[in-house]
């Protein structure tokens, strides 16, 4: 009959889901069903406008005419619209006093409004062959915003391929030097291709942007104390992908060991990021998993390990970020460290976890 599909008996997606049911139902409690149904349904994208393209403003207006909103630029005006998360409406006054970073006005990321399931068309090339926008999970722009890039910064993107976040941070036009690294050769090649499709050749030919293909864990020693900002966007269980796509699935039986070693690798990569940051520099750690083990635990472990080596790092509050964007994203309530965007049917972005650290010595 119609229903008897020829699926393997235990597809990796099923194993992933069983695994998540067991762990996340405890971790997220009664929020889990809502996150689960969102992850199993079509995700929403954001169009990161490429301001290196001559068509950037035309495309922005076109998309706005279709009903899109630049969630980054519009957050100031959206005070009266509904926050997705009820708790986020209660503003913590004590935190407001601390100075909030200004968000770069150059990064534009357009999304369809809450509950709107429209899709973006594939991006088109302008007359010089540059693409007008890059489609990504809109929540993955948040770790870049959390970096709070300032003019003249030297930036390390430790696990950069295929380059969505690299592209986002380049949109700010603040970076004086960027090292974009990814240990996988084939993925580094993709990163190059991404940059070529979005950046004018002259920008790439200057020595401002370097691309490398090292094991990120070793980069800490090579590039010790060199960067103002470090983005550590680690490999993880890519939860949404794992429950939806059989191909290249982390929960495939053959990858069990690799999957179990993820938290260790993540700690090593974050440690490398901390080493590569100059004193006073900031590190943002991010994943696209809901897993406490890969998120908060990794951060806490890394802080301990750094301490043992005499490096002091402090967790930086990202409350300002969640307050700004609670109309666009559904943030998990109160984590021990960092912030987490939970998938939700009305705003089906994420999961994206991020935590910001400052190295003080």
Partner 1 sequence: MDASRGHMSFCSTRQDHHQSSHTSQVPERPGAQLNIRSLLEMGFSETQADEMHEGALKSRGKHIPSILTVLLLLGLNPASILKIMQKCPEMYSLKGAEIQQRIDNLRKLGLVEGSLQRVISHYPKVMVLPIKRVNMVSRLLKEKCHVTVQQVTDILRDSPEVLEEDLARLEYKFQYAYFRMGVRQAEMVKAKMFRLTLSMLRCRHCFLERRGLYQTPDKKGQTLILNPLLKDFICVSEETYLTQVAMATAEEFHVFCKLIEREQEEEFSNEEQELDD
Ligand X SMILES: C[S@@+](CC[C@H](N)C(=O)[O-])C[C@H]1O[C@@H](n2cnc3c(N)ncnc32)[C@H](O)[C@@H]1O
Residues lying near ligand X in the complex (CB under 6 A) are found at 140, 159-165, 181-184, 187, 215-217, 233, 235
Minimal distance in Å, beta carbon 89 to ligand X? Answer: 30
Cβ neighbors of 261 (< 8 A, separation 6 or more) are: none
Identify the CA nearest to 78 among candidates 361, 360, 324, 330.
324
- Give the residue with the Cβ less far from ligand X, 114 or 167: 167
Whether omega before 259 lies within 30 degrees of 0, making that bond cis, reads no
Residue 112 interacts with partner 1 (CB under 8 A)?
Answer: no
Q: How far apart are CA 66 and CA 52, in angstroms?
A: 22
Nearest residue to the partner ligand X, using Cβ: 216
The binder of 162, among ligand X, partner 1, none, by C-beta within 5 to 8 A per type, is: ligand X
Residue 36 interacts with partner 1 (CB under 8 A)?
Answer: yes
The DSSP code for 10 is S
- Give the residue with the Cβ less far from partner 1, 322 or 348: 348
Minimal distance in Å, beta carbon 33 to ligand X? Answer: 26
CA contacts within 13 A on the Cβ side of 93: 0
Query: Is-catalytic flag, 109?
Result: no
How many other C-beta atoms lie within 10 A of the C-beta of residue 80? 6
How many other C-beta atoms lie within 10 A of the C-beta of residue 238? 18
Residue 34 interacts with partner 1 (CB under 8 A)?
Answer: yes
The DSSP code for 347 is B
- Give the residue with the Cβ less far from partner 1, 84 or 192: 84
| 46-49 and 209-212 beta bridge pairing | unpaired
Place of tokens 């460290």: 337
Query: Exactly one of 7, 33, 57, 89 binds partner 1 (CB under 8 A); which one?
Result: 33
Minimal distance in Å, beta carbon 46 to partner 1? Answer: 17
Cβ neighbors of 150 (< 8 A, separation 6 or more) are: 174, 228
Minimal distance in Å, beta carbon 206 to ligand X? Answer: 22
Query: Exactly one of 7, 21, 86, 279 binds partner 1 (CB under 8 A); which one?
Result: 21
3-state SS class at 294: coil
Identify the CA nearest to 280 among candidates 158, 107, 167, 154.
154
The binder of 235, among partner 1, ligand X, none, by C-beta within 5 to 8 A per type, is: ligand X
Minimal distance in Å, beta carbon 123 to partner 1? Answer: 21
The one catalytic residue in 159, 288, 324, 355 is 288
Number of residues that bind partner 1 (CB under 8 A): 19
Residues forming contacts to partner 1 in the complex (CB under 8 A) are 1-3, 21, 25, 30, 32-34, 36-37, 40-42, 115, 117, 344-346
Catalytic residues, which ones? 288
């Amino acid at each position: 009959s119609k229903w008897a599909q020829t699926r393997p008996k235990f597809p990796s997606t099923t194993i992933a889901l069983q695994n998540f049911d067991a762990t996340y139902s405890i971790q997220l409690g009664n929020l889990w069903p809502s996150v689960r149904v969102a992850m199993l349904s079509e995700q929403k994208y954001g169009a990161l406008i490429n301001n290196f393209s001559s068509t950037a403003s035309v495309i922005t207006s076109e998309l706005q005419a279709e009903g899109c909103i630049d969630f980054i630029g519009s957050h100031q005006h959206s005070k009266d619209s509904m926050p997705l998360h009820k708790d986020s409406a209660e503003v913590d006054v004590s935190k407001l006093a601390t100075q909030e970073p200004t968000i770069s006005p150059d990064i534009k990321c357009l999304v369809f409004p809450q509950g709107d399931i429209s899709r973006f068309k594939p991006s088109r090339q302008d007359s010089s062959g540059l693409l007008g926008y890059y489609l990504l999970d809109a929540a993955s722009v948040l770790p870049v915003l959390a970096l709070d890039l300032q003019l003249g910064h030297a930036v390390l993107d430790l696990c950069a391929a295929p380059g969505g976040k690299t592209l986002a941070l380049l949109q700010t036009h603040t970076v004086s030097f960027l090292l974009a690294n990814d240990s996988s050769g084939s993925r580094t090649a993709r990163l190059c291709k991404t940059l070529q499709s979005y950046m004018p050749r002259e920008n790439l030919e200057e020595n401002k942007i370097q691309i490398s293909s090292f094991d990120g864990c070793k980069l800490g020693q090579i590039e010790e104390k060199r960067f103002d900002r470090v983005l550590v966007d680690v490999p993880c269980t890519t939860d949404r992908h794992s429950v939806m796509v059989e191909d290249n699935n982390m929960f495939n039986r053959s990858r069990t060991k690799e999957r179990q070693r993820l938290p260790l690798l993540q700690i090593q990569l974050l440690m490398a990021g901390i080493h590569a940051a100059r004193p006073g520099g900031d590190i943002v750690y991010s994943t696209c998993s809901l897993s406490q083990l890969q998120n908060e635990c990794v951060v806490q472990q890394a802080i301990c390990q750094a301490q043992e080596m005499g490096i002091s790092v402090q967790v930086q509050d990202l409350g300002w970020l969640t307050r700004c964007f609670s109309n666009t994203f559904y943030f998990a309530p109160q984590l021990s460290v960092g912030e987490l965007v939970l998938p939700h049917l009305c705003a089906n972005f994420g999961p994206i976890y991020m935590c910001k650290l400052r190295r003080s010595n």
